[in-house]
Amino acid sequence: MNRFPIIIIGLLSAMFMLIGCDGMNDIQQEYVEKGKRVYLGKADSIEVIPGLNRVKLTWYMPADPRIETTTIYWNMQSDSIVIPFVRKTTGVQKDSIFVENLAEDTYVFEFRNSNSEGETSLLSAAQGRAWGEEFLETLRERQITAQSYDPPLLKFKLTAVTGGDEIVYSKIKYVNEEEREIETRIENNVTDVSIADLAIGSSFDIVTVFFPAGGVDTIYKKITYEAPSVTFATGKKVLSLSNVAGSMFFTRGESLLQKDPSHKLLVYTLNASNQLAHTSTMEGTWNMYGFMYSSSTDMLIVVDKQRSNYVSTYRFEGNTLPLLASQIGRGYNFAGFMSFNGLFFTIAVNGEVKRWMVKPDGNWNDPKGGDLMATGFDQYSIYLTHQNKIVLAVDADGSLWYYNVALDGIIDANRSKIGRGWNRYTAIYSFGDKLLGQDANGDFWLHDFNLDSYWILK
């Protein structure tokens, strides 16, 4: 029996086993040594408190006396900051820091403690967001909804503060007549505000102060308003008529139309001398109509005062006015009427303003109609729409007020006072971008007009 190969194989096997055991011991020793490693205590209870383009980080450090620094990472550890740790107590200690100049975003902040011996802690992390412009847009600052200006007194109404607005207070900053800077605090429950000594032609700021819940920053949002300039106006006389009694007037764009005492419908336009001159006469029979209004550049709405206050519509075609729709409604015995962007407003004796929608074919969109748009117009002696944007009104004291009007005809409940002395006129008409006033003598006065000024008529 040949035992030599068996002996050789046995020796080789023993040799490999010895080598294998040595390698395993080396690996085991490596992990034994690693197993002996003791980590530093890690940051705990990390909180990320949002601020404006920054965050405040707070955390608790363990009682481990070996900790010397804390490194904070963010942006996938591409950004970091190293904070020396100064122990002030033998136990758990709170620490904090602001991380500045952050874009508006959500961040993960990772913490690792270390020391000069190369010892480190395991990572701990928390997530939070830095505020920016998008967040600021969600904060609803207080704004002026209506104002009246009678220099130097400015009165205005601010939007109300609701529970979710997170507003602490607001303030006004302005320059008074003595050129002194004034700052006045406005509490949240105050909506009616006045400035008694605002310098004419100056501006003023409404600053809303927020402290959003769960945040670290007080945020200030400012809106600058220009005080209306003051214009002392007499207007320019553009027409004098002796036959005003028994006449009715309305405007269409930059034309004045008169239904004169003989029931002719006369058209006046500005000539080269900027005077209103009779340029044409509209064909038709108009004696029965007590009210006539141009609802748009091409449609005329009339109210027949002789026959049950019927409403009919006509179309402007050159010097002719062919009938569009006859007697589309009846019983329109109202104190006054206005037209607005294809809508027809009726003003009742009790001051209610209702809307009637007119279709392009001259018929009512809804024969029942009569949606309530506003109240309180019984306090005005004059009212009109202007440029299909606003309603102007003059009260008994001669104050000129304006209301914003939505495209659907809803008249804003808030009004702004923009002039005085307008009871000089018995009627006022919209004339392009200007106003045309008619006085008791039959004279017509043309006024430049905008909402940026306070208009005082001499």
Structure tokens, 21:
């055991």
Contact 303, 310 (CB under 8 A): yes
Asked whether residue 12 is assigned to any structural domain, the reply reads no
The answer to whether 420 touches 400, Cβ cutoff 8 Å, is: yes
Sign, CA dihedral 290-295-300-303, equals negative
CATH number at residue 317: 2.115.10.20
Residue 1 lies in a domain: no
Note the pLDDT of residue 3.
47
Q: Which two tokens stand for residue 396?
A: 């008994």
Cβ contact 436:400 at 8 Å: no
Number of domains comprising the chain: 3
258 and 279 inside one domain: yes
Q: Is residue 297 part of a domain?
A: yes
Do 238 and 381 reside in the same domain of the chain?
A: yes
Token output for 210: 């927020």
CB atoms within 10 A of CB 349: 10
Question: Is 27 part of a structural domain of the chain?
Answer: no
Tokens of 403: 């209301």
Task: Report yes or no on 16 lying in a domain.
Answer: no
| Helix then strand then coil, % of the chain, to nearest 5 | 10, 50, 40
Structure tokens at 206: 């409404």
* pLDDT for the residue numbered 57: 98
- End residue of a domain, out of 83, 115, 134: 134
Question: Domain containing 56: what range?
Answer: 44-134
Are 294 and 147 contained in the same domain?
A: no
Query: What pLDDT score was predicted for residue 50?
Result: 98
Q: What's the confidence (pLDDT) of residue 4?
A: 46
pTM for the complete prediction? 0.69
Distance CA 399, CA 304 (A): 32
Low-confidence ranges of the chain (pLDDT < 70): 1-36, 295-297, 367-369
The CA-based angle 257-258-264, given to 5 degrees, is 115
Report yes or no on 75 lying in a domain.
Answer: yes
Co-location of 418 and 328 in the same domain: yes
Which one-letter amino acid corresponds to residue 385?
T
- Say how far apart CA 318 and CA 251 lie, in whole Å: 16
176 and 251 inside one domain: no
Query: Which residues are 118's β-sheet partners?
Result: none
Query: Does one domain contain both 48 and 160?
Result: no
Assess whether 117 and 147 both reside in one domain.
no
Residue 7 lies in a domain: no
Structure tokens at 150: 């009678």
The H or E element containing residue 25 is: helix 4-35
Across-strand partners of 457?
233
Phi, psi of 88 (to 5 degrees): -120, -5
Residues 260 and 353 in one domain: yes
**The pair of three-digit structure tokens given for residue 457, joined into one six-digit string:** 């008529």
Same domain, 190 and 333: no
Distance from C-alpha of 111 to C-alpha of 70, rounded to nearest angstrom: 7
Residue 432 is assigned to a structural domain of this protein: yes
Same domain, 193 and 90: no
Q: Are 419 and 454 in contact (CB under 8 A)?
A: yes
Same domain? 167 vs 75: no
Say which residues have a Cβ less than 8 Å from residue 367's Cβ, sequence separation at least 6. Answer: 328, 329
At residue 160, what is the residue type?
A: A
Token duo for residue 265: 């419908």
User: Which of these three, 134, 157, 174, is where a domain ends?
Assistant: 134
290, 373, 409 from 332: Cα distances, Å: 11, 17, 19
CB 95 within 8 A of CB 88: no
Say yes or no: 430 and 289 in one domain: yes
Using the 3D structure, point to which of 134, 151, 168 is the last residue of a domain. Answer: 134
What CATH number corresponds to the domain at position 96? 2.60.40.10
Residue 61 · residue 43 · CB < 8 Å? yes
pLDDT value, residue 258: 94
